[in-house]
């Protein structure tokens, strides 16, 4: 791997902004690519409290930053602060990638859906969104990104399942406001098993199954064995949901790839290189 021992006064600088930020694996991820491609640049963690977020985002051009990633709980603040939004960010209602334009304007995008789809295509090349209904568990920001990405990719139906029906209905209403509610059906939690009938894809967007959290309470009896099962959780790399799905013969896709692929567009915009997602990168990021 090519290495850069130090950065110069001409270094390209980007980072990740959140509160807290110490848990973020993005500096490790982007640092790997910077070393791999021998780029004179840096990617730094930026711990910014929500009440200072707008000020910090506005300061990026003055500080010479090429841009930054934005993570919880600042994605919605970034959405309201940037000067320009791309269409994907507008529909998702959140910004996770900011690029400082040549004119100094802040350009907001959202690459979470891109990362989700690219990970599925990399892990399961035979999968297509048009294959059949998708079942999405959860109704938070990650669920919104997944639902928008699936609709954009051509999914004929998305069944949204959440413990609190009102929150799922609120998400559907938000999607309707940006013209995307068609094809999304809310399913009650008590009917979650029946939602799996005939599905071609199952996605868990909740924290259930994450290290320290209980496993997702979702029997897979009604799920076709041909359906792809994806869990966006990546600690552990194989959640109880993925282990059960693999044991019954379902094709599976883990969550680490979504993190890696969503980082590609920002890295290219800031540092001028189209990075590649590899097994070596995945291992390096997971070791951090």
- The catalytic site residues sit at 75
Strand, coil or helix: 188: coil
Q: Is 240 exposed, middle or buried (0-12, 13-18, 19+ CB in 10 A)?
A: middle
The Cα angle at residue 240 between residues 143 and 205, in degrees rounded to 5: 5
**Cα Dmax for the chain:** 59
* Bond into 20 cis (ω within 30): yes
Rounded CA separation 229/201 (Å): 6
Contact at 8 Å (CB) between 131 and 200?
A: yes
Q: Which phi and psi angles does 17 have, rounded to 5°? A: -110, 130
């Amino acid at each position: 791997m090519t290495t850069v021992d130090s950065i110069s006064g001409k270094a390209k600088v980007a980072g990740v902004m959140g509160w807290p930020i110490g848990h973020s694996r993005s500096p490790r991820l982007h640092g790997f690519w910077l070393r791999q491609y021998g780029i004179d640049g840096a990617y730094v963690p930026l711990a910014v409290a929500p009440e200072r977020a707008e000020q910090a985002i506005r300061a990026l051009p003055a500080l010479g930053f090429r841009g930054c990633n934005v993570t919880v709980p600042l994605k919605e603040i970034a959405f309201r602060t940037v000067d320009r939004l791309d269409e994907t960010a507008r529909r998702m209602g959140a910004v996770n990638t900011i690029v400082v334009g040549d004119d100094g304007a802040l350009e907001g995008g959202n690459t979470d859906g891109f990362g989700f789809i690219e990970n599925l295509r990399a892990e399961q090349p035979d999968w297509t969104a048009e294959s059949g209904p998708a079942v999405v568990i959860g109704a938070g920001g990650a669920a919104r990104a997944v639902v928008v990405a699936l609709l954009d990719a051509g999914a004929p139906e998305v069944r949204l399942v959440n413990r609190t029906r009102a929150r799922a209905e609120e998400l559907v209403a938000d999607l309707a406001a940006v013209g995307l509610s068609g094809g999304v059906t809310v399913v009650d939690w008590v009917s979650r098993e029946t939602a799996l009938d005939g599905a071609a894809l199952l996605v868990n967007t909740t924290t259930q199954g994450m290290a320290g959290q209980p496993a997702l309470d979702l029997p897979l009896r009604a799920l076709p064995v041909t359906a792809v099962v994806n869990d966006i959780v990546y600690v552990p790399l194989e959640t109880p949901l993925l282990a059960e799905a693999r044991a019954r013969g379902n094709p599976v896709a883990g969550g680490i790839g979504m993190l890696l692929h969503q980082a590609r567009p920002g890295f290219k915009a800031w540092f001028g290189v189209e990075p590649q997602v590899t097994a070596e990168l995945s291992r390096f990021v997971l070791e951090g």
